[in-house]
Amino acid sequence: MFDIFNDLLTVFDSTLRLSTPLLLACLAGLFSERAGIFDIGLEGKMLAAAFFSAAVAYASGSVWLGLLAGIAASLVLSILHGLASITFRGNQLISGVAINFLAAGMTVLVAQSWFKQGGRTPSLIGGARFESVDLPFLEPLAGIPVFGPIYGELVSGHSILVYLALACVPLTWWVLYRTRFGLRLRAVGEAPEAVDTAGISVVALRYWAVIICGVLCGIAGAYMATALQAGFVKDMSAGRGYIALAALIFAKWRPWYALYSCLLFGFLQALALRPDMIERYFGFKVQVQLLDALPYILTVIILAGFVGKAIPPRAGGEPYVKER
């Protein structure tokens, strides 16, 4: 029984770590799509943020400068997406796909030019990485049965960005449902003409949405390169942007449901790291490749089965043309 408890703690601990970039990207897409701007480019923004955060953190020795660089890189791509889809009223899906292609090629090319290590950055050490944070009262609570190990191994000991991502869930709910800005943001995704009639700028609100999206994607990418791993490697986002979009659809564009969806995807990824557990406790062996593919299989199932049932914002994906 004690072994099962420890194994579950290990899996749930990994679930939190692996869910963090998904959750940040999912909330980023939530802000953008609630304002009527579909963003397929979450993957590319995370990838660009991961590279520039790792590169700047390595060059400066400061993980905080790396984080700012990652956010800045993601913001540049977000503003490009805003220019294409809001100002010039282009196709939002094509713009997002173009950002993904741009980031995938640019990061490897620049990494090879700067560091000559096959499209990756040198390993980050010391102050160039986010270290785990020990929460208060760790030692006094350690001896308490059940609660002590849960608090010490599952609740405490994560990067500060993990706690930031979790805090963003109630903050997002509060902003969207308890503030005037959130009300207007949701309205501009449903009926932009009504917002415009009230004398509120649709363009400004949508730009604010893509800016918030860029900041959250920047944090997600920086987390991958400076906390989850110790540097940037080619295509390290590994489809997380698309998984975040699937989680967003599964969550029906709601913050708390987004948390649960991302934890589910994170759990599947964590399970793939411990294939021995299934064989030990259930008596049959599962191929590691199948476990690795489970999050992507679930993504396809959600997109195929839920995309028609989950109703997106009514004005989503459509450029707004001001009536004369």
Residues 77, 80: Cα–Cα separation, whole Å: 5
- Confidence check: pLDDT of 324 > 60: no
Q: What is the pLDDT of residue 42?
A: 96
Lowest mean pLDDT among 39-53, 63-77, 127-141, 230-244: 127-141
Structure-model confidence comparison of residues 233 and 288, the more confident one: 233
Q: What is the pLDDT of residue 233?
A: 94
How many CA atoms are closer than 13 Å to the CA of 313, on its beta-carbon side? 25
Per-residue model confidence as pLDDT tens digits over 26-66? 999 999 999 999 999 999 999 999 999 999 999 999 999 99
Residues 18, 267: Cα–Cα separation, whole Å: 8
Whether 57 contacts 226, CB under 8 Å = yes
Mean pLDDT of 76-89: 95
Whether 67 contacts 226, CB under 8 Å = yes
Lowest mean pLDDT among 79-83, 110-114, 316-320: 316-320
- Confidence check: pLDDT of 170 > 80: yes
What's the mean per-residue pLDDT of the chain? Answer: 90
Whether 37 contacts 78, CB under 8 Å = no
Whether 259 contacts 23, CB under 8 Å = yes
pTM for this structure? 0.94
Residues 261, 254: Cα–Cα separation, whole Å: 10
